[in-house]
Amino acid sequence: MICILAFIFIIGLVVGSFLNVVILRTVSNESIVFPGSKCPKCQTSLKWYHNIPVLSYIFLKGKCAFCKEKISIQYPIVELLTGLVYTGFGYLYLNTIFYTNESTPILTLMFLVSIIATSLFIVISGTDFKEMLVSDKHTYSLIALGLIYSIIIGSFAFYGDYKFGIISWKLLFTPVLYTVCSIVAAFIFTEVIRRTGNFVMKTETFGDGDSYIFAGVAGIVTSLFGASDFGYIFAMLLILFVLSIILTIIFAFPLYLKGLFEEKKWRLICIISTFIIYCAGYFYATGAGWLENIYHLWSGTIILVALGILLCFEILKGIKNKTNTGTQIPFGPALCASGFLALVLLPILLGIV
């Protein structure tokens, strides 16, 4: 098992090296096949030993072998991330296959779909981070992956019953139906929020590609883990979207504050600081029992809500007036991250692995 996981890790490193090429050449609008690998600074063609994942970066000390310009840290990060992700999925699924010998074809297929989907997540996140660019080729591939898997699973179920003389066409079409509905619902849901936000704020709140990314994420998650009814699907989509927003807030907040300091938005910085300090005091007072008196509780809560409304108003005003550059954070990586977390956690929670 260890040897197989080591092999999967190496494959992941190699694929990660290729994903770097896809990210950079998508941004530069070049072919991912021709020309061969080259330094993005001096354009010199690289030797094969300059392309060994992670090791070449270490041996070259993070600099081009020819022009000595710094090599982006993105290269080893993407390679290592891909290798670790592949190994993690390998452990989840192959470990179950080896020790239980249950549903080997399905689990193997789920493993392959998970690593392909994650590879697309990495590419989409990379281009969105670098240039806030989302390629239709990548999002359409994500959507197609979910549809193809649902068709295969439907065919497996149909064939399984057909062998015993039972012909149930429902088994063939149900996985595809759920996946298609999930993709369409996710796209419409995101588009409605995006267009409403654009109308209210008079500026772009979400990127055009975010709706397609979420549609792809929804298709992958629904096709892999199924659904017993449409209510389950919509609940799952809502959870994924809310999780994406939470992830965006967590990772964007430091960048947002950095932008505010650079722009010297002292008023907004003071409001944010006051809100954070008051929140900490409010929850501490609640835990300590200082707000047991109804008047103290209501007065404290009203002040908290008022500060929250003031903070939201100031942030939204900054977005509308395009004065806060710190708010320009790509949403695509958070959608991909929520999809990745679903691929990791759902098979465990559902008892699949």
Burial classification of residue 26, based on how many CB atoms lie within 10 Å of its CB (0-12 exposed, 13-18 middle, 19 or more buried): buried
Could you count the other beta carbons within 10 Å of the beta carbon of residue 332? 28
DSSP secondary structure string for all residues of 242-291: HHHHHHHHHHHHHHHHHHHHHHT-HHHHHHHHHHHHHHHHHHHHHHHTTT
Return phi, psi of residue 168, to 5°: -120, 100
Global pTM reads 0.81
- In DSSP terms, 38 is beta-bridged to 45
> Taking Cα atoms as reference points, which of 83, 68, 85 lies closest to residue 13?
83
Residue 50: pLDDT over 80: no
Q: Model confidence at 141, in pLDDT bands (50, 70, 90)?
A: very high
Buried b / exposed e along 7-22 (16+ C-beta atoms within 10 A): ebbebbbbbbbbbbbb
- Region of 68 (left: φ > 0; alpha: ψ -120 to 50; beta: rest) is left
Burial classification of residue 65, based on how many CB atoms lie within 10 Å of its CB (0-12 exposed, 13-18 middle, 19 or more buried): middle
Q: What is the pLDDT of residue 319?
A: 60
Could you count the other beta carbons within 10 Å of the beta carbon of residue 53? 22
Distance CA 125, CA 334 (A): 8
Q: What is the pLDDT of residue 351?
A: 83
Higher-pLDDT residue of 130, 320: 130
Residue 22: pLDDT over 80: yes
Q: Vertex 247, ends 242 and 250: CA angle to 5°?
A: 125
Domain ranges of the chain: 1-82, 103-265+324-353, 266-323
Q: What is the pLDDT of residues 176-230, one digit of tens each?
A: 888 999 999 999 999 998 888 777 766 676 778 899 999 999 999 999 987 667 7
Q: What is the pLDDT of residues 76-88, one digit of tens each?
A: 999 999 999 999 9
Q: What is the pLDDT of residues 55-106, one digit of tens each?
A: 888 888 888 777 878 888 888 999 999 999 999 999 999 888 877 766 678 8
Residue 146: pLDDT over 50: yes
Residue labelled with tokens 């108003």: 313
